[in-house]
Amino acid sequence: MAKEFDVCVIGSGPGGYVAAIRASQLGFKTAIVEKRHLGGVCLNIGCIPTKALLRSAEVYESIEHASDYGINVKDYSADFDGIVKRSRGVANKMSKGVQFLMKANKIEVFMGTGVFKSKSELSVNDDKGKEQESIKAKHFIVATGARPRQLPNLEIDGDMIIDSEKAMQLDKQPKKMVIVGAGAIGVEFAYFYNAIGTEVTIVELQDTLVPVEDKDVGKELGKIYKKKGMNVMTGSTVENVKKKGKGVEVTVKTKKGEEKIEADVVLSAVGVTGNVENLGLDKAGVKTEKGAIVVDKKTYKTNVDGIYAIGDVIGAPWLAHKASHEAVVLAEQLAGENPHPVNYNNIPGCTYCEPQIASVGLTEQAAKDEGYDVKVGKFPLSASGKATALGHEEGFVKVVFDAKYGEWLGCHMIGFGVTEMIAEAVVARDLETTGHEIISAVHPHPTLSEAVMEAAAEAYNEGVHLGTPVKKK
């Protein structure tokens, strides 16, 4: 006999578990179905463990450059097994935290694969496809996330060609690695492996690294990565990968012709696609399109009454914080409240390589393409007293304003710690703050965050720290 709930969430990532908690807080009898790990990809094999790996790389680099700070360190080395072990420990701790939250909020957890039997009933199956439980609910929320996308000529086999999950827990550190795709995942792993001594080649189809970012950011990261000793191949594609000895030979097509690169392993980081298969969505009548569930982006309703979807499974941007925000909005809507809808024009993106990248809003080119007359300000961190004192002078803060009304159209940062700085721009844009209001807001000195104010001042020709001649009005 089917168990009955008000809300049943399928998937326990940052979208799913947040939806379940908020629904329970609002008085709904709530269940959550998870086939693998509570916390989903982000907590277990994504956001959190990769940040732990990156932190180890940062510490290693700090020790490597200790003499720059007047400190002498001898006999240090990277313990790859120890680094991976710490990363897994961090992930496991966070996953246990989600277990606690489920119990504290009286949410019933069903471990298994959720498959729709109809639009009003869900089967929870074991790994052999045998039904363990049956669930009926007034509201089903699909939050099954996404997985790495595969290219036809770059099929992931877990041996020669690996995905991000495998890359964060390899048995041994590769001497040489080719990374295909220079989005957030690609450049984060490139930084990690390069920092601890792996010879890294990055192959990217577009002309700059992190191609979704402002072009100035991508160019800057490319320069820095080349300086770190990485082989950066933009405007290039991987034609094929074949086994050679104990490693692989990668054929890369560049603007100058083909080039062959030998490596121990290839990491495919060419994006993600939604987990829409094997959920019984066809039996429920739920519409999908290009690897994503089709929803109304204000209500998260699918084409079937009583079935909703949030997070990566509904498409870009594939970000944990977007999924969590959608989860709260949806749960509150189901409770009859009137929450502010998600503002998809004001969702920040963060990349945790070193230097870090953070952005929100329109790039300079996108703003121009939309017809804005723009004011652009750029403040290099080499002119920041705090950045200089920290020994991290690479990067800049770039701001884009509408010349007519002063609207803050976009903010783009690359540098040490900038992922902790972007929230100022997000909040300011939400409050419709103008450029001059940012300039007049007193920023503490010395801090990295004052670079935001300095960039705004440069946009309006009011900067004082770059020696730029003032134009007469």
Per-residue pLDDT band at 45 (split at 50, 70, 90): confident
Q: Is 187 annotated as a binding residue?
A: yes
The pLDDT value recorded for residue 175 is 97
Please state, in angstroms and as integers, the Cα–Cα distance from residue 205 to each residue in 139, 180, 285, following that order: 42, 9, 37
- Domains of the chain (ranges; CATH) run 3-148+273-334 (3.50.50.60), 161-270 (3.50.50.60), 355-459 (3.30.390.30)
- Summary mean pLDDT of the chain: 95
Q: Residues 306-321: what's their mean pLDDT? A: 96
List 470's β-bridge partners, or say none: none
Look at residue 358 and give its three-state secondary structure: strand
Q: Is 186 annotated as a binding residue?
A: yes
The pLDDT value recorded for residue 469 is 66
Task: Check if 443 is active-site.
Answer: no
194-210 per-position pLDDT tens digit: 999 999 999 999 999 99
The pLDDT value recorded for residue 471 is 62
Q: Residues 2-28: what's their mean pLDDT? A: 97
91-116 per-position pLDDT tens digit: 999 999 999 999 999 999 999 999 99
Q: Is 114 annotated as a binding residue?
A: yes
Per-residue pLDDT band at 152 (split at 50, 70, 90): confident
CA distance 411 to 425: 7
CA distance 454 to 391: 19
Beta strands 247-254 and 237-244 are: antiparallel
CA distance 375 to 408: 10
CA distance 147 to 152: 16
The pLDDT value recorded for residue 155 is 87
Q: Is 51 annotated as a binding residue?
A: yes
408-426 per-position pLDDT tens digit: 999 999 999 999 999 999 9
Give the DSSP H or E segment for 164.
helix 164-167
Q: Is 204 annotated as a binding residue?
A: yes
List 28's β-bridge partners, or say none: none
Residue 437: is it exposed, middle or buried by C-beta count within 10 angstroms (0-12/13-18/19+)? middle
Percent of the chain with pLDDT over 90: 90
Q: Is 256 annotated as a binding residue?
A: no
Single out the catalytic residue among 37, 340, 392, 445.
445
Q: How far apart are the first and last CA of the chain?
A: 78
Q: Is 285 annotated as a binding residue?
A: no
